[in-house]
Amino acid sequence: MDDNQLLRYSRHILLPEIGIDGQQALLGAHVLLIGAGGLGAPVSLYLAASGVGRITICDHDVVDLTNLQRQIVHFTDSIGKHKVESARTTLARINPEVVVEAIAERVEGPRLEQFVAAADVVIDATDNFATRHAINRACVRYQKPLVSGAAVRFDGQIAVFDLRKADSPCYHCLFPESGDLEEMRCAIMGVFAPLVGVIGAMQAAEALKLLMGVGRDLSGRLLLLDALTMEWRSVRLKKDSRCSVCGSGDTAQRQATEACVP
Ligand SMILES: [Zn+2]
């Protein structure tokens, strides 16, 4: 680190839990952030300000006027621009040392797997179940820590799935994929503006802790926030050994498929 970096990150370096080593770990880290909306905005601001060396942000959407009430990485003159480009511009103003890779597409399939495989930590800041499950499957496959957040109306939730560990539950253990899951689209739902800030800032905090190996992360716990009463609930999560993504369900299915091959 040069003198300017020692100054820029001095309030991190002063923390004995972080110090030079922790900050160096952040500078060398690569985070994949999927979603540059309400949650992705505060996540990206804190990752960039904290000096995470490389941030890949994926989002196919463009900024519109209804986003600006809560998506604080975008500005009024960003309307009509791709969210990832708008975010990259803002983040460069905060910290030009950080490399921001802006992917203006809905990443899925092999392309999603490629991005997940290349990251140290994956942050899910999306707003639909299909994408959440696809991200989870890729994180299970490549054993990447997944920081998952959600916010709608006054209800927020956050969980960490440290899929580097064999006994970790995955997102599918918690919310099994099924046809009758009613899709709640943020496009038509109300969202309390600071709620995405609270949950997004916590997602950034958990990602930084995972990258530095500091403290005790939210692994194996789901936190639920009711912002109307400002009450938190903590729920213990356990791996579902029959989960079709991370457990034996998948193995049984695979063996059955293989058995059919002549
Ligand atoms: Zn699972």
d(CA 222, CA 158): 6
d(CA 204, CA 242): 31
Question: Within a 10 A sphere around the Cβ of 156, how many other Cβ atoms?
Answer: 25
Q: How far is the CA of 94 from the centre of ligand 1 (A)?
A: 38
Q: How far is the CA of 117 from the centre of ligand 1 (A)?
A: 18
Q: How far is the CA of 179 from the centre of ligand 1 (A)?
A: 17
Q: How far is the CA of 261 from the centre of ligand 1 (A)?
A: 26
- Dmax (CA) for the chain in angstroms is 65
Q: How far is the CA of 240 from the centre of ligand 1 (A)?
A: 6
Residue 68: both structure tokens together: 């600006």
Q: How far is the CA of 201 from the centre of ligand 1 (A)?
A: 26
Q: How far is the CA of 247 from the centre of ligand 1 (A)?
A: 6
d(CA 169, CA 140): 10
Q: How far is the CA of 73 from the centre of ligand 1 (A)?
A: 33
Q: How far is the CA of 239 from the centre of ligand 1 (A)?
A: 6
Q: What is the pTM of this model?
A: 0.92
Q: How far is the CA of 68 from the centre of ligand 1 (A)?
A: 35
Q: How far is the CA of 221 from the centre of ligand 1 (A)?
A: 14
Strand order in the sheet with 30-34: 99-103, 54-58, 30-34, 121-124, 145-152, 155-162, 221-226, 231-236
Per-residue pLDDT of the chain (262 residues; tens, 9 = 90+): 999 999 999 999 999 999 999 999 999 999 999 999 999 999 999 999 999 999 999 999 999 999 999 999 999 999 999 999 999 999 999 999 999 999 999 999 999 999 999 999 999 999 889 999 999 999 999 999 999 999 999 999 999 999 999 999 999 999 988 755 555 555 578 999 999 999 999 999 999 999 999 999 999 999 999 999 999 999 999 999 999 999 876 544 443 333 333 2
